[in-house]
């Protein structure tokens, strides 16, 4: 089988980790008799430098013509430290999600046995952690009306950000979460702030209605502040967690440290027509070009991509190879190893 894959290396370590993932994908293709046809495209600061747009129309077209998108990272300190910058790399990420209709962000949180001692939480708390965070990605406060009123610098100057959700937006993400829970341990936690926020009350109402269609799923509702506490005290209690955009942004970053390294966590952003796969870590500009970044999150994102394409055995071969790499100590410096990015990807390819 032949598949069209859009490659968006982006900024910082993006090109290195995407190269590592494609090396592994090529090995999978050779073993399982597939062909991955790659098309590179610009995004982020690299795209701003080249064409002045963090998500060019050419990149959008390439993504829409592909079976899946494998994305590296966005971000550059040049823009972080310039409050006057009118165009920022991160704007490309929001634009891409909106254009491709990527309304669901899936972040699996799983602790590999060999990394139990790397977690900041005690082994007895984190051992056996295996849950999935489902974050709504194209609505809420990040996309609502925003602005300022009054005279700049005046004591009465106001700033506002509006959080808005439609019933349709909530229904599609909550339904997906229930369907994912049915494929796992059949437990769903809906995270909101329904005691304060009207949008959260809509979320809870919609989830209660959809729950009637999934009687086999144990559904619980949890305020976001409690969920934040439970993530560090009882993370093994979660199976699938679904929440709105900003809550999901914060909670998934909190959950990411459970694994012991950001370099181990993949993610997928799914829409009705398109799908994008990326590591959750940032562009890590301090490591760019040094061949020291952990490629495993990107390689695991490639495995999620293969599962999305229905290539489950192929994805399993990648996960098994990463297990071998971890057990053998073939890891990068974030996991206290001494191996380079390219050495780790080569070992994983050989294991496959």
Per residue in 192-236, pLDDT (tens digit) is 999 999 999 999 999 999 999 999 999 999 999 999 999 999 999
What class does CATH assign to 120-259?
Answer: alpha beta
Residue 323 annotated among the catalytic residues of the structure: no
Q: Confidence band (pLDDT; 50, 70, 90) for 118?
A: confident
The active-site residue out of 113, 253, 290, 350 is 253
pLDDT at 260: 80
Tell me the C-alpha distance between 198 and 207, whole Å: 14
pLDDT at 165: 98
The active-site residue out of 26, 53, 67, 249 is 249
Instruction: Indicate whether 83 pLDDT > 80.
Output: no
Residue 243 bridge partners (DSSP): 135, 191
pTM attached to this predicted model: 0.90
Tell me the C-alpha distance between 158 and 99, whole Å: 31
Instruction: Indicate whether 323 pLDDT > 90.
Output: yes
Residue 76 annotated among the catalytic residues of the structure: no
What are the residue ranges spanned by the domains of the chain? 1-102+263-352, 120-259
The active-site residue out of 49, 142, 187, 323 is 142
pLDDT at 207: 98
Residue 193 annotated among the catalytic residues of the structure: yes
pLDDT at 263: 87
pLDDT at 112: 86
The active-site residue out of 3, 165, 193, 347 is 193
Instruction: Indicate whether 184 pLDDT > 90.
Output: yes
Residue pLDDT, tens place only, 36-56 = 999 999 999 999 999 999 999
Tell me the C-alpha distance between 109 and 285, whole Å: 24
Tell me the C-alpha distance between 170 and 307, whole Å: 25
pLDDT at 261: 81
Residue 11 annotated among the catalytic residues of the structure: no
Question: What percent of the chain has a predicted confidence (pLDDT) above 70?
Answer: 100
Considering the chain, what is the average pLDDT of its residues?
95
Name which of 47, 99, 90, 89 is nearest 69 in CA terms.
Answer: 99
Does domain 1-102+263-352 match CATH 3.10.129.10? no
Residue 239 annotated among the catalytic residues of the structure: no
Asked if 253 contacts 247 with a C-beta cutoff of 8 angstroms, the reply is no
């Amino acid at each position: 089988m032949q598949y069209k894959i859009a490659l968006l290396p982006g900024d910082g370590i993006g090109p290195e980790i995407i190269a590592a993932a494609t090396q592994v994908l090529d090995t999978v293709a050779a073993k399982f008799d597939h062909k991955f046809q790659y098309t590179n495209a610009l995004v982020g600061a690299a795209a701003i430098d080249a064409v002045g747009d963090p998500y060019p129309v050419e990149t959008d077209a390439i993504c829409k013509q592909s079976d899946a998108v494998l994305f590296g990272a966005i971000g550059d300190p040049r823009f972080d430290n310039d409050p006057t910058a009118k165009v920022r790399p991160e704007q490309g990420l929001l634009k891409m999600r909106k254009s491709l209709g990527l309304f669901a962000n899936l972040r699996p949180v799983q602790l590999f046995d060999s990394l139990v001692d790397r977690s900041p939480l005690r082994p007895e708390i984190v051992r056996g952690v295996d849950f999935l965070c489902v974050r709504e990605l194209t609505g809420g406060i990040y996309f609502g009306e925003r602005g300022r009123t009054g005279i700049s610098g005046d004591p009465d100057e106001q700033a506002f950000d509006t959080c808005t959700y439609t019933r349709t937006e909530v229904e599609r993400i909550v339904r997906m979460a229930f369907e994912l829970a049915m494929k796992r341990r059949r437990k769903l936690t809906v995270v909101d702030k329904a005691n304060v926020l009207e949008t959260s009350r809509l979320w809870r109402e919609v989830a209660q209605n959809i729950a009637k269609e999934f009687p086999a799923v144990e559904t619980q509702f949890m305020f976001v502040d409690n969920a934040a506490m439970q993530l560090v005290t009882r993370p093994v209690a979660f199976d699938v967690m679904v929440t709105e955009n900003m809550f999901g942004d914060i909670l998934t970053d909190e959950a990411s440290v459970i694994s012991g390294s950001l370099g181990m966590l993949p993610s997928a952003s799914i829409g009705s027509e398109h799908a994008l796969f990326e590591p959750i870590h940032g562009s890590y500009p301090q490591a760019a070009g040094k061949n020291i970044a952990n490629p495993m999150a990107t390689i695991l994102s490639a495995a999620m991509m293969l599962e999305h394409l229905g290539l489950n055995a192929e994805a399993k071969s990648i996960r098994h190879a990463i297990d071998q790499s971890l057990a053998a100590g073939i890891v990068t410096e974030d996991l206290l190893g001494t191996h380079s990015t390219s050495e780790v990807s080569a070992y994983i390819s050989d294991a496959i």
